[in-house]
Structure 1
Amino acid sequence: MKKPFNVLQASILKALTKALFHKVDMAITPDQVVANIQYQFSLMEGGKPREIGLTLYLVCLVLGGPLFLLLGPGWGARKVARRLERSQNDLMQDLARIRGVIYAGYYGHWQGASQTTEQGQIDNVDNPVLAQIGFTLPLYRERGAGEMPITHYDERDLSHADLVNHANVPDEVDVIVIGSGAGGAVAAANLARHGHDVLIVEVGGLWASRDLSHEERRMTSRLFVDGGLQSSRDHDVIVFQGRCVGGSTVINNGICLPVNREGLTHPDADDVLERWASLGAPVDKARFHAAYDAITARLSIQPIAHRAGRNNGLHLLKGWAAYAAKSTNPIDKAAPAVWFSKNFGPPNGPAECAYCGYCNTGCPYGRKQGMAQSFLRDARASGARILAETKAEAILWRDDRQDGKHVAHAVTVKLADGGERVIRARKGVVVAGGAMASSRLLQASGIGGAGTGLSFNMACPVVALMPNAVKSWDEDQMATYVDARDFLLESHFQPPMSMSTLMPGWIGDHAQRMRNYDRLASAGVLIPVDRQGSLIDGALHLKLRADVELPNLRRALATLSRVHFAAGALEVYPALARGTTLRRGEDIDAFFDRYVREADDVTLSTSHPHGGNARGSDPATSVVDLDCRVHNVANVLVADASTFTSCIRVNAQMTTMAMAHYATEHDPF
């Protein structure tokens, strides 16, 4: 294994590990933590290891340079603590990034080299870190009568035989679909059904369910863009996106939530489709709702079984009921508090979710119907081919025009070995790589306006300490939600490595919170960020507005904290950079006014980037027309979330699928 961090960088990591675990009983040595970090980063594609290495130098310098390495963990811990009190926010972000890396290296500890789900758990039955926090791997959990067994379902996977061998890349096809996620898979299935010779190009590899395991460090490094560390230019926001066949549907929670559906969304929330129409991008509502219905039928979308969220999911519903009962705000009184609907169906069948709690690192039990278990299989059945581990670099244009419009005739791709190929498209190209990748491709292909007006559903976690054991980890990661009109509250809980990186707190506080793993409940807020992002030189530029998003974030965090306390929490740990505890009886609004002044003050992430290549009738304010065809281009469609004209406010997966279906239900070529 090539070590991505040099001797000096490894020494800095070791010194930081000792400082962050000062006076903490460590289950593994600092040297083992550094070895774990080296291994995790060796699996990543791209430039994140180098970027983190440079950040290590900066952090070491501000913590005292050589003295930090020489004077021991006690001195280092005091230095970190003083910096937390005095630091400017940019330095706080750098410290927080490295803190997350080190905690991942500790709580992501994994024994043995097995890459199978079952053997990996057998090898880790005595994992000292997991034992220290009281976490039980799925293989060893007890399930009672009427519960789903945690077993593998074999019937839905693609296989590596479904992929095009790189030695046999076709020179020409009818249609090239770029991206295999929620948009690309649906578009490819429809286009293949229309009789086109379709080639799906995907930058990531294929991970069938039996290729997945519960080794979080390996799964996040291989399945996520930048190993789960993709961020905005200023590192204020982490952007989680999949880098594999099936895209982000492999690493999400299967949530399928349409916009503005009675009983599922707040009755007073803005109507998304009406908002699009007001911005010059109307959709045929009957057709769009029919698209939702088609997706629902294909994926057997149903509300999840209540047993799948019996602990943490119920915590949010009970807390909200107690909070809303005392609230005098009519917005609270009208808020739906609902079980999520997901694509695990059909219910009560052998493929129903086994709620192991590992959705975000891929379902190793074959239960989730991501794109690799559904629409990509449909596309293959109709003759489409999948070219994995291949990056689309640019769309190439003919010299002549068709009715005054540009015409795409090929796509330049780069194979895994670094070799480049040009694949001709007889009829057209569909871009569906997701909001950011599609924007980058269109920018590289000379499309003006691409990558502007990006929207986000921004997430921020809030963890609570309960009086007794909750075992939030023994259930579906995300089970229930509340739509409070201006924001959503969503129950969620993570396996140990991921939970440690979002858990606020430093040094002994963080360690103690993780030792209380059994007693933790957790949920997150989801706030809309409408058209505030743009891609500059390929990097995301995004700032939350002091008069829009930040006040809404404070309100959402305050509301969720009250819900936790209403459910019986002893204390609450909002995702503040400094790790400050909120205690029962404190003035909650004043707390968040004091500690959340800008985006740097909290941990923010998003799995729902959308927009960037907005639909619209006016080329001056949009990138694609009302049929999702790039303006002034005869034969290039965009069929993913990047076409959304404004922020949709709720989880984006189902609306992305519906938009792709809407654009390709009738043959566009």
Structure 2
Amino acid sequence: MQKPFNWLQARMIKALTETLFYETPMAISPQQVVDNLQEHFSNISGDKPKEIALAFTGLFFILGGPFFLWGSPKFRRTRIRRRLQNSRVDFFQDIARTKGVILAGYYGHWEKGDEEANYDNPIYQRLKYDLPGKRDRSAPGEVKIEREDGRDLRAEVFVGHDAIPEEVDVIVIGSGAGGAVAAAAVADEGHEVLILEAGSSYPSSRITHEEARMTARLFKDGALQTTKDRDIIVFQGRVVGGSTVINNGICLRMKQDGLVHPDAEDVFETWAELGAPVTEAELATSYEAIESRLEVSEMSQISGRYNGPHLINGWQKYAAQSQDPMDKRAISAWFHKNYGPQAPKTECVYCGYCNTGCPYGRKKAMPESFLSHATDDARPNPARILDGAQADKIGWASNAGGDRIAQSVKVTLNDGRKREIKVRKGVVVAAGALASSVILQNSGIDKSGDGISLNIACPVVALMPNGTEANVWNEDQMATYVDRGDFLIESHFQPPMSMATLIPGWFDEHFRRMHNYNRLVSAGVLFPADRLGHIEKGKLKLKIGEPELGLLRRALATMTKVHFLNGAIEVYPALLKGQTLRKGMSDQEIDDFYESAIVEPDDVVLSSSHPHGGNGINMDPEKGVVDLDQRVHGTENVYVADASVMPSCIRVNAQLTTMAMAHRAMAGKKRFG
């Protein structure tokens, strides 16, 4: 294993670990944290390990160089408080986020071996946390935790890097929510389809509960991808099946009675005004087709038995005392998901690890559904998947009318080799909002990459009273939500490593919060950043302003009040400084706190799993990248079938709409003759 951190960087990691855990009873040594991070970052592909290594070198100079390394932990803590925790300098605030790397190295510790070898993992012992295989599921109504890998993709559907075809009918770039649906539709028409995926294949039989390794292997940049200014973390899958492999399977339509706030923005009307008249009835047909194939249904309430009801019960108390009609008409509900069907060997076992892949073969993500359908050998011309192959750009010719005709796709394999694969009929671009925009920009589509939207999330963790240990980790990560119209609140909880990185706080205070792991509940607010981003030199540049910050303050204040109304004694919003709010604060005091605590985006930890836009639909080629059929303007045979075609922010989880837009564009349309 080549170590990504040199001697100086490793020494800084050790010193930072000693300081962050100063006067706390560590379960593993600081040197073990260093070793964990050396291994963790060796598993992440791309330039992110180098970027993080440089950050630790930067910290060496920011914190005082040799004086920091030679200083006492008490001296170091004072220096960190002044220059990182309480700094107002943007660069210092950005680099302060490397604290999360140290926490991941500690709470992501994994003893060599399998799950059973980690039943006595010292970190888990300290937290009183049980891995899924150790949990008692003998009570009536409980689902036994058993592995079922019968839905995994077969090895035969993959193309070896030394057996890549020179030419195929259609190339589909991307195997996620959009690409898989598009590939299935094109394969159904009898075309020879090759699906390109930059990530590798990780069937359920290869997925484990080793959070650090799965995060490194399944996420783009090891779940450390950010916007260009590092203000927002953007989570995206880099694996066969895309983000459907590492998400919670949530399936929400943009507009649906009883599940979406009745007074929320009508996205269909917004799109029509922008020049993209996609009708509700038209998309409903595609929604229904996807929901039927995935057997989407309301999740079982036993799988979210504590954290889910905590949000709903707290919200009902909040809405009952509110005079705001938007609160009164808000929707609170259990999520509908594609975990189905709810039957033996296929129903969710609510282990709490959805975000690092389902090792039980229960989630009906793209590998278990549309990719399996597209590659079924029972069809005359089954699709094939080339993984570990990043599409760089499209090669063109021109027709008599001057439109571009796709003739090939240029690819970089994960060992650095370059290949060019010719196409006879066309290309479907479905690599996700960011990657599709980069590919089309590289291919000479000038307007690509503009108008990117995010649904931005911000967690709010709360501590319940003594005697209310609920072991929220023994359930589904996301169970219920509240649609308030202008923002959403979603219940969520994570396994130890991920939870440690989203819980705010420094030094012994963070340790105390994690020590109360079994008494924590959590939810996140979700708010829109509508068409604020664009791709610049391959990176997402997006800056939220005062309108978004104002909405965020109000949403966080609301969630804080909901926590307190349902019994919380402390609330920990995801603020860089790690402040605590305590039971007994008045509503006005809570509002005033957020007004003063959040002045700029660097004051708060923000993330998004839902980038969309960049190649928006528009009838006018001067205003959009694709036409109403989702064909790239000025081309004859290139279509876009992912979240990048959405002309504005859709406000809710984008998974189902991404699939529906791909189905709308490709299913039964005979785009390639």
TM-score, scaled relative to structure 2: 0.97
Q: Which amino acid aligns with 1:631?
A: H
Deviation at 1:216, TM superposition (A): 0.4
The size of the alignment, in residue pairs, is 661
1:403 aligns with 2:397: no
Deviation at 1:416, TM superposition (A): 2.2
Contact 2:172–2:195 under 8 Å retained in 1: yes
Residue number in structure 2 paired with 1:538: 538
Deviation at 1:281, TM superposition (A): 0.2
Residue number in structure 2 paired with 1:638: 640
Residue number in structure 2 paired with 1:563: 562
Q: State how far apart, in whole Å, the 2-side matches of 1:29 and 1:309 are.
A: 35
Q: State how far apart, in whole Å, the 1-side matches of 2:126 and 2:453 are.
A: 40
Contact 1:159–1:208 under 8 Å retained in 2: no
Residue number in structure 2 paired with 1:596: 598
Contact 1:473–1:493 under 8 Å retained in 2: yes
Q: State how far apart, in whole Å, the 1-side matches of 2:85 and 2:105 are.
A: 25
Q: State how far apart, in whole Å, the 2-side matches of 1:93 and 1:658 are.
A: 40
Deviation at 1:172, TM superposition (A): 0.6
CA 257–71 in structure 1, closer or farther in 2 if over 3 Å, else same: same
Q: State how far apart, in whole Å, the 2-side matches of 1:462 and 1:286 are.
A: 37
Q: State how far apart, in whole Å, the 1-side matches of 2:539 and 2:93 are.
A: 17
Residue number in structure 2 paired with 1:56: 56
Deviation at 1:284, TM superposition (A): 3.6
Residue number in structure 2 paired with 1:433: 431
Contact 1:89–1:600 under 8 Å retained in 2: no
Residue number in structure 2 paired with 1:623: 625
Residue number in structure 1 paired with 2:252: 257
1:332 aligns with 2:332: no
CA 277–130 in structure 1, closer or farther in 2 if over 3 Å, else same: same
Q: Which amino acid aligns with 1:392?
A: A
Residue number in structure 2 paired with 1:105: 105
Deviation at 1:402, TM superposition (A): 4.3
Residue number in structure 2 paired with 1:131: 125
Residues 413-422 or 222-231, more deviating: 413-422
Q: Which amino acid aligns with 1:256?
A: C
Q: State how far apart, in whole Å, the 2-side matches of 1:478 and 1:14 are.
A: 34
Contact 1:55–1:94 under 8 Å retained in 2: no
1:660 aligns with 2:659: no
Q: Which amino acid aligns with 1:163?
A: F
Residues 282-291 or 297-306, more deviating: 282-291
Deviation at 1:58, TM superposition (A): 1.7
Q: Which amino acid aligns with 2:383?
A: A
Q: State how far apart, in whole Å, the 1-side matches of 2:400 and 2:501 are.
A: 52
Deviation at 1:403, TM superposition (A): 3.0
Moved segments of 4+, more than 4 Å: none
SS of residue paired to 1:514: helix
Contact 1:153–1:365 under 8 Å retained in 2: yes
Q: State how far apart, in whole Å, the 1-side matches of 2:457 and 2:280 are.
A: 29
Deviation at 1:592, TM superposition (A): 0.2
CA deviation profile, 1:225-244 (whole Å, cap 9, x unmatched): 00000001111000000001
Contact 1:93–1:235 under 8 Å retained in 2: no
SS of residue paired to 1:27: coil
Deviation at 1:41, TM superposition (A): 0.2
CA 85–182 in structure 1, closer or farther in 2 if over 3 Å, else same: closer
SS of residue paired to 2:110: coil
SS of residue paired to 1:470: coil
Deviation at 1:85, TM superposition (A): 5.9
Q: State how far apart, in whole Å, the 2-side matches of 1:166 and 1:448 are.
A: 32
Deviation at 1:164, TM superposition (A): 0.6
SS of residue paired to 1:422: strand
Q: State how far apart, in whole Å, the 1-side matches of 2:389 and 2:549 are.
A: 39
Residue number in structure 2 paired with 1:529: 529
Residue number in structure 2 paired with 1:117: none
Residues 599-608 or 81-90, more deviating: 81-90
Contact 2:410–2:421 under 8 Å retained in 1: yes
Q: State how far apart, in whole Å, the 1-side matches of 2:633 and 2:125 are.
A: 57
SS of residue paired to 2:424: strand
Alignment of 1:227-626 (within 5 A): 227-381=222-376, 382=379, 383-398=382-397, 400-467=398-465, 468-546=468-546, 548-586=547-585, 587-626=589-628
Q: State how far apart, in whole Å, the 2-side matches of 1:305 and 1:141 are.
A: 19
Contact 2:187–2:193 under 8 Å retained in 1: yes
Residue number in structure 1 paired with 2:136: 142
Residues 85-94 or 152-161, more deviating: 85-94
RMSD: 1.0
Q: State how far apart, in whole Å, the 2-side matches of 1:89 and 1:182 are.
A: 39
Q: State how far apart, in whole Å, the 2-side matches of 1:492 and 1:470 are.
A: 14
Residues 549-558 or 413-422, more deviating: 413-422
Residue number in structure 1 paired with 2:219: 224
Deviation at 1:89, TM superposition (A): 4.2
Q: Which amino acid aligns with 1:208?
A: P
Deviation at 1:369, TM superposition (A): 0.6
Q: State how far apart, in whole Å, the 2-side matches of 1:48 and 1:230 are.
A: 8
Q: State how far apart, in whole Å, the 2-side matches of 1:557 and 1:667 are.
A: 47
Deviation at 1:92, TM superposition (A): 4.3
Q: State how far apart, in whole Å, the 2-side matches of 1:659 and 1:27 are.
A: 49
Contact 2:176–2:241 under 8 Å retained in 1: yes
Q: Which amino acid aligns with 2:510?
A: H
CA deviation profile, 1:299-327 (whole Å, cap 9, x unmatched): 00000000011011111011111111111
SS of residue paired to 1:407: strand
Unpaired stretches in structure 1, ≥5 consecutive residues? 115-119
SS of residue paired to 2:452: strand
SS of residue paired to 2:170: strand
Q: State how far apart, in whole Å, the 2-side matches of 1:577 and 1:45 are.
A: 28
